[in-house]
Amino acid sequence: MAPIETYLKQLNEPQREAVLENSRPLLMLAGAGSGKTRVITTKIAYAIEALKIPPYRILAVTFTNKAATEMKERVEALLPDNPDVKDCNIRTFHSFGAWLLRRFGSEIGLENNFTIYDDDDSLSLLASIYPSYKKRELEPIMKRISHAKDRMLSPGDAMKRFHADLLFKQMYERYEEKLRAVGNLDFADLIGRSIELLRDAPHVQEWIHSRFAMILVDEYQDSNTAQFLLLKLLVGPETFVGVVGDDDQSIYRFRGAEVKNILTFASSFPKARTIKLEQNYRSTTQILDVANSIISKNADRHDKNLWSARKGGRKPKLFYVHDEEDEARRIVTLLREDRNYNSSAVLYRTNAQSVPFETVFKRYGIPYKVVGALQFYEREEVKDALALLYLLTNPKDEVSFRRIINKPARGIGPGSVGKIIGFAPQTGGDLLQAAASAVQNRTLSPKAAQGAELAVRLIDEGRKLIVDGNLVDGVTFLINESGLYEYYRELDLLNTTQKVANLEALVNAISVYEPSFDGLVAFLEQLTLDRTTLGTDDPRDRDGVTLITMHNTKGLEFDRVFVTGLEEGLFPGRKNEREEDIQEERRIFYVAVTRARNELYLFSSKVRKIWGKTSFQNPSRFIDDIDPSLIQVEGSPAPQGFDSFAKRDAVSTDWGSSGSGMIRQGFAPGAKRFEMKVKHEKQGDSPLFPVGQKVYSDANGEGEVVKIRGEGDREAIDVVFSTGKKATYLSRFADLDRIGGE
Tell me which residues are annotated as active site. Answer: 36-37, 218-219, 249, 595
Tell me how far CA of residue 494 lies from CA of 379, 380, 500, in angstroms.
18, 16, 13
- SS3 string of 608-658? EEECCEEEECCECHHHHHCCHHHCEEECCCCCCCCCCHHHHHHHCHHHCCC
What is the residue type of 142?
M
Task: Give yes or no for a cis peptide into 140 (omega within 30° of 0).
Answer: no
| CB within 8 Å of 73: residues ≥ 6 apart | none
CA–CA separation, 376 and 539 (whole Å): 11
User: What is the rounded CA–CA span in Å between residue 525 and residue 717?
Assistant: 54
Checking DSSP bridges between strand 545-549 and strand 368-370, what pairing results, if any?
parallel
User: What angle do the packed helices 225-234 and 93-104 form, to 10 degrees?
Assistant: 60
Name the nearest CA neighbour of 318 among 558, 623, 550, 649: 623
Q: In angstroms, what CA-CA distances link 28 with 15, 19, 187, 244?
A: 9, 10, 28, 5
Residue 129: CB atoms within 10 Å: 14
Nearest to 4, CA basis, from 67, 61, 57, 53: 53
| Cβ–Cβ under 8 Å, residues 310 and 284 | yes
As a whole number of angstroms, the longest Cα–Cα distance in the chain is: 94
One-letter amino acid for residue 645 of the chain: F
Are 176 and 157 in contact by the 8 Å Cβ rule? The answer is no
Q: How far apart are CA 321 and CA 562, in angstroms?
A: 13
- CA distance linking residue 373 with residue 742, whole number of Å: 56
How far is residue 65's CA from residue 411's CA, in Å, rounded to a whole number?
A: 41
* Helix/strand/coil for 41: helix
Pairwise CA distance, residues 677 & 396, whole Å: 69
Sign of the dihedral through C-alpha 551, 552, 554, 560: negative
For 524, residues 6+ apart whose C-beta sits below 8 A from its C-beta are: 115, 116, 386, 389, 390, 393
How many CA atoms are closer than 13 Å to the CA of 705, on its beta-carbon side?
23
Crossing angle (nearest 10°) for helices 471-481 and 380-393: 120
Helix (H) or strand (E) segment spanning residue 390: helix 380-393
CA-to-CA separations, 396 to 90, 180, 192, in angstroms, rounded: 31, 10, 21
What is the rounded end-to-end Cα distance, in angstroms, of the chain?
78
SS3 content of the chain, % helix, strand, coil (to 5): 50, 15, 35
The number of residues making up the chain comes to 742
Q: Nearest-CA neighbor of 116 among 509, 393, 484?
A: 393
